[in-house]
Amino acid sequence: MAGRLRLGSVAPDFEADTTKGRISLYDYLGNDWGLLLCYPDDFTPVATTELVLFSHLQKQFAKRKVKLLVLSTENQPTDNSGESAYIPHDDWVNDVNDIGPVPMKFPIIKDRTGQLSHLYHVLDEKDVDNLNADDELTTGIAFNSRTLYVIGPKWQSEHHIRAISQYPYTVGFNTGEVLRMIDALQLSDSASVRTPANWSAGGDVVVRPSMEDDEAKRRFPSFKAVKPYLRFVEMPTKDMDMQFLFFQQGALTSFGAGVEDGVMVVAEGKEQYDIEPMA
């Protein structure tokens, strides 16, 4: 595939084996949105914490018609013998389920050769060669970042990349920000508006600049023009409740957040889940 994936690029389709059986990306997504989490390796600590929290939010993503899936190169050897033996992804899923309060139900795609990671431009050709090298010096984690793709619903028979986030391996994704970004994208699609900085559900939105004032007055009678190109309007949002987790002193602590009458309400420390230490 020529060129790097950018916003608006067609999301490449593929078939692959996963922890949930063999899937085709487009068949798996259907007409829904997708969230593709790309990792260099299983059993990495930051990625494990992310999968715990994304698993906890599975119902929230389902409400937004977003299907989750993970792409991970399966490149961690079981021993130092130099044999081409790998730990199954299912073992990583078991670790995630041991830590988190909600079982992980979305698939991990098997990508031992790195070709799918190359297809999605989180590995370059040199990394793929390095990943599949025979000598111990070059075998191992081929890249030290993680990439998140938000894939839009099918349009003109194809899925398209709607957002891309790339983080270093030392910094975990903010799952709440991912939900916020998807809410913003879906609202923008449905209401022909834009979301301003730090927008969250219930906050004012921005009238798209290409809309003439006459049409804006008809569609948004109460809009406020701060600049000719910057017009704010209140966008009522349905009441909704969410629950997020964070790690604190070796446990998972939750906080609740919701929109009530257009106002974001947060209540901390509602519930705590202990993590069993290793024996």
Q: How far is CA 235 from CA 61, 156, 219, in A?
A: 21, 29, 11
What is the secondary structure of 157-191 as a DSSP string? TB-BEEEEEEEETTS---HHHHHHHHHHHHHHHHH
Helix axes 45-56, 175-191, angle to 10 degrees: 50
Confidence at 253, pLDDT banded by 50, 70, 90: confident
Chain center to CA of 92: 18
Bridge partners for 24 per DSSP: 15
pLDDT in tens, 113-158: 888 988 888 875 566 666 555 544 444 444 567 899 999 999 999 9
CA dihedral 115, 117, 120, 121 (to 10 degrees): -100
The answer to whether the beta carbons of residues 187 and 69 sit under 8 Å apart is no
Give the tokens for residue 223.
Answer: 């809009």
What pLDDT score was predicted for residue 275? 76
Confidence at 248, pLDDT banded by 50, 70, 90: confident
Assess whether pLDDT exceeds 90 at residue 244. Answer: no
**Predicted structure pTM score:** 0.85
User: What's 15-173's CATH class?
Assistant: alpha beta
Rounded to 5 degrees, φ, ψ at 134 are -85, -30
Average pLDDT over residues 235-262: 73
What pLDDT score was predicted for residue 129? 62
What pLDDT score was predicted for residue 140? 46
pLDDT in tens, 48-86: 999 999 999 999 999 999 999 999 876 565 555 555 567
Mean pLDDT computed over every residue of the chain: 83
Assess whether pLDDT exceeds 60 at residue 207. Answer: yes
Confidence at 239, pLDDT banded by 50, 70, 90: low
Assess whether pLDDT exceeds 50 at residue 1. Answer: no
What pLDDT score was predicted for residue 141? 47
Between 202 and 101, the higher pLDDT residue: 101
Which residue ranges make up each domain of the chain?
Answer: 15-173, 240-274
Rounded to 5 degrees, φ, ψ at 85 are -115, 140
What pLDDT score was predicted for residue 246? 87
Give the tokens for residue 158.
Answer: 């194809």
Assess whether pLDDT exceeds 70 at residue 262. Answer: no
What is the secondary structure of the chain as a DSSP string? --S---TTPBPPP-EEEEBTEEEEHHHHHTTSEEEEEEES-TT-HHHHHHHHHHHHTHHHHHHTTEEEEEEE----BSSSS----B--HHHHHHHHHHHSSS---S-EEE-TTSHHHHHTTSS-HHHHHHHT-SSTTT-S---SEEEEEEEPPPBTTB-BEEEEEEEETTS---HHHHHHHHHHHHHHHHHSEE--TT--TTS-EEE-TTS-HHHHHHH-TT-EEEETTEEEE------EEEEEEEEETTEEEEEEEEEETTEEEEEEEEEEEEPPPP-
What pLDDT score was predicted for residue 117? 85
Single out the residue of 222, 233, 25 nearest to residue 109, CA to CA: 25
What pLDDT score was predicted for residue 85? 63
Percent of the chain surpassing pLDDT 90: 51
Of 1-15, 63-77, 162-176, the range with the highest mean pLDDT is 162-176
Confidence at 174, pLDDT banded by 50, 70, 90: very high
What pLDDT score was predicted for residue 157? 93
The answer to whether the beta carbons of residues 237 and 259 sit under 8 Å apart is yes
